[in-house]
Amino acid sequence: MRLFLAALALCFYATGSAAENDYPLIEAKECRPRGGLPNFLLKAQNTGSELKVGYLGGSITAQAGWRIQSLAHFKKAYPQSKFTEINAAIGGTGSDLGVFRLQQDVLSQKPDLLFVEFAVNDGGADPQRIIRCMEGIVRQTWKSNPKCDICFVYTLTEFLSPAMLEGKLQRSASAMEKVAEHYGIPTITLGMEVAKLAKAGKLLWKAPLPKTDEQMQAVGDKVVFANDGVHPYEATGHKLYTEAIVRSLPALAIAYNAPLTHVFNLSLDPLNYERATLAPITSAKLSDGLVPVDMKSDAFAKGWANRLPAMVKLTQPGQSIEFKFKGTHCAVYDVVGPAGGQVAVTLDGKTTKKVPRIDAYCTYARLSTFTIGTDLPEGVHTVRLELLADPIDKAAVLAKNKNVIDKPERYAPLNFFPGGLLILGELVP
C-alpha cells in the first residue's frame, strides 16, 4: 500500500482547490447512461459466456476494493456466466500513462468491458491533456475491439471534494465528461454518495477504522471513509463506490438483440493520443556493454515484468541509450527509487535537462515516467539518454517529504532503470 500512497500524492497534492476555478465544472450526477453497456450485459445473460472486465486506473483501483467488489457483484448477478478481471491499475499514475500502456496491459487480453478510473490521479493535470489522453483510450479500445463497452468512473478524495460538495464534478471529471458525451460513453460518479454524506456531516474523511465498541460509539452514525482521505477502507468507502455501480447498472442495460459495434465519431481533439505506443527500451541503441536484463530471472527486474516490456540497467556514468522517433511526444517509462541517479536528456542535438530518478517519496522503488519532449513539431527527432556521475543530495531530497535515509548502502548507487518508451508516433531506424 505504501507504494500507492506516496506515488499518488505526487499527482495532485501540488495543486490547490483554486485550480477548479479556471475550468467550467459540470453538474454532478451519479450516472449518465448514454449508450450504456449493451454488449457486456447482453453477453452476461447468456449461459456459458466468458467475460473479461478490464480495470484501468490508479491506486484506488489497485486496492482490494471496488474492483474486486464489482466483479463479485457480476458473478452473483449472472451466475450462468464466467467473469475474470484484467487488473491494469498502477498507483500514482494517470491517463497520461494509461493511454500508452493500454494495448499491452488491457487490450491484448480482449476485454468485454473496460472501466477507466483516473479522475483522482488526473486531479492536477491540464484539462486539454486529460481530454486527449482519455479520447486516445477510447479510440484505441474501439479500434482494437469495437464491441468492447467502456465506462468512465470518478472516484473522490477529501482534497478534491470542494466542487462535489457544491454539486459539481471536479475539474478532471468535468474534462472527461466531454469525451464521454462525444462518444456516448456511460459515466458513474462513484463519489456521489460520499459527497452527500460529507456535506451532511455524516462522513469522516480521515480516521482509523473503529474496531472496539468504544471506538464505534465515538464515531456514532458517521461513516469512516479512509485512513488518509484518499484510499477508502474496503468495508466503507469502497462499499459506497461499489453500491454506486450496482445502482447504475439498470440504467446501463440498453436493450439490443445483437452485439453493437461501437463506431468512431470525428475526433473531439485532432491531437488526441490515439496513436500512443509503448515500445520496449531494447528497441533503442544501447552503448557498448549494455545488455537487456532477463525479466524472468533477474531479482530486481522480475518484480516489474508484468508492467515494463523490458529493462536495461545503467550503472556506470557515461552509459547511454539512443534512438529516433517520428512523432510529437516521447517519454521514458522506468523505475525510480533509492538507487536512482541523474540522466542527461539530449533532444535533437541539444541537452535539454538533467532528470533525477529519485524523489522525496523514494524510500522504495516504484514505476514512474519522465518526459523527453511534448508538443513537438511533427517529424523525426533524435534522443540520447546518458547516465551522469553527478552526485545527488539524497538526504535533502527525501527530507522534502520528511523521509530519511535508513541504510546508506541502498542510496549509494546512481543508477537508471528504463523499461519502455512512450511515443506519440513510432520509432524509426
The phi and psi torsions of 260 (rounded to 5 degrees) equal -95, 135
What's the chain's average pLDDT?
93
Residue 165 lies in a domain: yes
CB atoms within 10 A of CB 256: 11
Provide the domain limits for residue 394.
Answer: 276-428
Residue 269 lies in a domain: no
DSSP-assigned beta bridge partners for residue 387: 343
pLDDT at 226: 97
User: Are 236 and 374 found together in one domain?
Assistant: no
* Residue 21 pLDDT grade (very low, low, confident, very high; cuts 50, 70, 90): low
The CATH number that applies at residue 412 is 2.60.120.260
User: Are 38 and 90 found together in one domain?
Assistant: yes
pLDDT at 260 over 70: yes
All three cell numbers of 44, joined, read: 452476461
CB of 327 closer than 8 Å to CB of 425: yes
User: Are 29 and 177 found together in one domain?
Assistant: yes
pLDDT at 11: 43
Minimum mean pLDDT range among 7-11, 101-105, 130-134 = 7-11
User: Are 176 and 304 found together in one domain?
Assistant: no
pLDDT at 3: 40
Instruction: Tell me what the mean pLDDT of segment 165-169 comes to.
Output: 97
CB atoms within 10 A of CB 46: 11
The burial class, CB within 10 Å (0-12 / 13-18 / 19+), for 81 is: middle
User: Are 186 and 290 found together in one domain?
Assistant: no
pLDDT at 14 over 60: no
The CATH number that applies at residue 193 is 3.40.50.1110
Report the alpha-carbon angle 200-201-202, nearest 5.
90
Spell 368-399 as b/e; 16+ CB within 10 A means b. Answer: bebebbeebeeeebebbbbbbeeebebeebbe
pLDDT at 257 over 90: no
pLDDT: which is higher, 9 or 231: 231
pLDDT: which is higher, 353 or 259: 353
User: Are 407 and 364 found together in one domain?
Assistant: yes
Instruction: Tell me what the mean pLDDT of segment 93-122 comes to.
Output: 98
Q: Dihedral of CA 214/219/225/229: which sign?
A: negative
Reported as type and span, the H/E element at residue 382 is: strand 380-387
Full DSSP string of 7-27: HHHHHHTTS-GGGGGGSPPPB
pLDDT at 2 over 60: no
User: Are 119 and 166 found together in one domain?
Assistant: yes
User: Are 214 and 288 found together in one domain?
Assistant: no
CB of 129 closer than 8 Å to CB of 165: no
Q: Cα separation of 234 and 209, whole Å? A: 10
User: Are 246 and 282 found together in one domain?
Assistant: no
pLDDT at 249 over 80: yes
Closest CA to 419 of 285, 326, 275, 301: 301
Tell me the per-residue pLDDT of 353-406, one tens digit each, with 9 for 90 and over. Answer: 999 999 999 999 999 999 999 999 999 999 999 999 999 999 999 999 999 999
Residue 297 lies in a domain: yes
User: Are 199 and 329 found together in one domain?
Assistant: no
What residues contact residue 162 under an 8 Å CB cut-off, 6+ apart? Answer: 17, 20
Closest CA to 134 of 106, 166, 104, 102: 102
pLDDT at 16 over 70: no
pLDDT: which is higher, 165 or 22: 165
What residues contact residue 214 under an 8 Å CB cut-off, 6+ apart? Answer: none
pLDDT: which is higher, 293 or 8: 293
DSSP-assigned beta bridge partners for residue 280: 420
Residue 267 lies in a domain: no
Residue 74 lies in a domain: yes
Residue that terminates a domain, selected from 201, 217, 252: 252
Closest CA to 362 of 301, 328, 329, 411: 411
Q: Cα separation of 240 and 190, whole Å? A: 7
CB of 423 closer than 8 Å to CB of 329: yes
Q: Cα separation of 209 and 231, whole Å? A: 12
All three cell numbers of 416, joined, read: 537508471
Closest CA to 24 of 158, 208, 168, 151: 168
**In residues, how long is the chain?**
429
All three cell numbers of 35, joined, read: 449508450
Structurally, the chain folds into a number of domains equal to 2
What residues contact residue 80 under an 8 Å CB cut-off, 6+ apart? Answer: 45, 46, 47, 48, 49
Tell me the per-residue pLDDT of 201-225, one tens digit each, with 9 for 90 and over. Answer: 999 999 999 999 998 898 999 999 9
What residues contact residue 163 under an 8 Å CB cut-off, 6+ apart? Answer: 20, 25, 28, 169, 170, 171
Tell me the per-residue pLDDT of 270-303, one tens digit each, with 9 for 90 and over. Answer: 999 999 999 999 999 999 999 999 999 999 999 9
Residue that terminates a domain, selected from 252, 285, 310: 252
What residues contact residue 395 under an 8 Å CB cut-off, 6+ apart? Answer: 404, 405
The phi and psi torsions of 3 (rounded to 5 degrees) equal -55, -45
Residue that terminates a domain, selected from 252, 284, 311: 252
User: Are 73 and 190 found together in one domain?
Assistant: yes
Residue 422 lies in a domain: yes
All three cell numbers of 269, joined, read: 481533439
Tell me the per-residue pLDDT of 28-72, one tens digit each, with 9 for 90 and over. Answer: 999 999 999 999 999 999 999 999 999 999 999 999 999 999 999
Residue 259 lies in a domain: no
Q: Cα separation of 67 and 238, whole Å? A: 9
Instruction: Tell me what the mean pLDDT of segment 260-271 comes to.
Output: 90
- Strands 187-189 and 417-428, by their bridges, are unpaired
User: Are 53 and 9 found together in one domain?
Assistant: yes
Residue 49 lies in a domain: yes
